[in-house]
């Protein structure tokens, strides 16, 4: 039988046992949440999103993230998807959802996607940025989105160290110990650092990231930036495949998930300034 739709309360209801899949582009201030993943008894991005969507649509839904972010980690373009048994009025849904979400989280875009699209499994790469306020004085504007290191860092040495990470490697040294996921190899597509007006941005793009990988890389990089170790120390740490050789785990507040990339066939709309797209600059 051909599938038909009826309209009820601005929803397009399917008369067959089927579903429609939608993706969201979400940004949030991580310091206001106990991470992205749902946890009992604490406020998380997933719990707030699901509560708001359920209230709006009056049905149970499960939001699937492209990947988890820890407590204190921010996101500029986090991608999630969810299924519903009816089609949505996209403009009305987006406006209404943002009206009931807290000020620390915003949905930038919603669109209908192919049922084969999966926010996590379909991802081809992720781009993380770690920001450091490298001025002698602290900044109230950067307090929540950067780590403050008053000692002047050697940016040239840090850039040279980042070069050793490009390509496919075993990143065990930069992975939190005793994590259940056995994956240890990643392909680092881009690793760069820029300093402007005392603010240092470290950008890493890879096909995947291990647990705490970015923050441990940054912790190691900071030691090199302080001239405790030469840039070649990064290569030694990488080759040792041992967490004890790497630096400390940098603070979560400086880390932001900038972008999750997918194949063009999924047509996931990335609301991002092309001038900031590091993949273009790296190619």
Phi-psi region of 197 (alpha: psi -120 to 50; beta: other; left: phi over 0): left
Q: Is 126 exposed, middle or buried (0-12, 13-18, 19+ CB in 10 A)?
A: buried
- Residue 162 CA to residue 204 CA, distance in Å, equals 9
41-58 burial: b if 16+ Cβ within 10 Å, else e = eeebbbbbbbebbeebbe
Query: What's the longest Cα–Cα distance across the chain?
Result: 71
**Which one of the listed residues 70, 170, 203, 227 is annotated catalytic?**
70
Length, in residues, of the chain: 283
**Exposure of 55 in the CB half-sphere (CA atoms within 13 A):** 12
Annotated active-site residue 70? The verdict is yes
Backbone angles phi, psi at 146, to 5 degrees: -150, 165
Any idea which residues carry the catalytic annotation?
Answer: 70
């Amino acid at each position: 039988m051909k599938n038909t739709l009826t309209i009820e309360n601005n929803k397009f209801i399917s008369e067959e046992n089927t579903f429609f899949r939608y993706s969201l582009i979400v940004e949030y201030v991580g310091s206001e949440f106990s991470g992205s993943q749902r946890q009992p008894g604490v406020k998380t991005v997933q719990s707030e999103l699901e509560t708001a969507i359920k209230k709006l649509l009056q049905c149970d839904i499960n939001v699937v993230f492209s990947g988890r972010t820890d407590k204190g980690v921010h996101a500029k373009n986090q991608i999630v998807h969810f299924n519903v048994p009816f089609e949505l009025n996209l403009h009305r849904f987006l406006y209404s959802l943002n009206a009931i979400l807290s000020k620390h989280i915003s949905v930038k875009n919603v669109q209908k996607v192919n049922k084969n699209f999966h926010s996590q499994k379909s991802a081809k790469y992720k781009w993380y940025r770690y920001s450091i306020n490298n001025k002698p004085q602290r900044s109230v504007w950067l307090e929540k989105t950067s780590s403050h290191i008053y000692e002047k860092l050697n940016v040239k040495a840090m850039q040279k160290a980042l070069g050793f990470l490009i390509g496919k490697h075993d990143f065990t040294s930069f992975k939190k110990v005793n994590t259940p996921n056995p994956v240890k190899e990643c392909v680092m597509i881009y690793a760069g650092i820029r300093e402007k007006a005392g603010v240092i941005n470290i950008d890493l793009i890879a096909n995947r990231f291990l647990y705490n990988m970015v923050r441990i890389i940054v912790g190691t990089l900071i030691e090199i930036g302080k001239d405790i170790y030469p840039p070649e120390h990064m290569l030694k740490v990488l080759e040792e495949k041992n967490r004890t050789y790497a630096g400390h785990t940098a603070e979560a507040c400086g880390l932001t998930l900038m972008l999750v990339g997918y194949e063009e066939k999924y047509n996931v709309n990335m609301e991002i300034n092309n001038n900031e797209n590091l993949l273009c600059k790296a190619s």
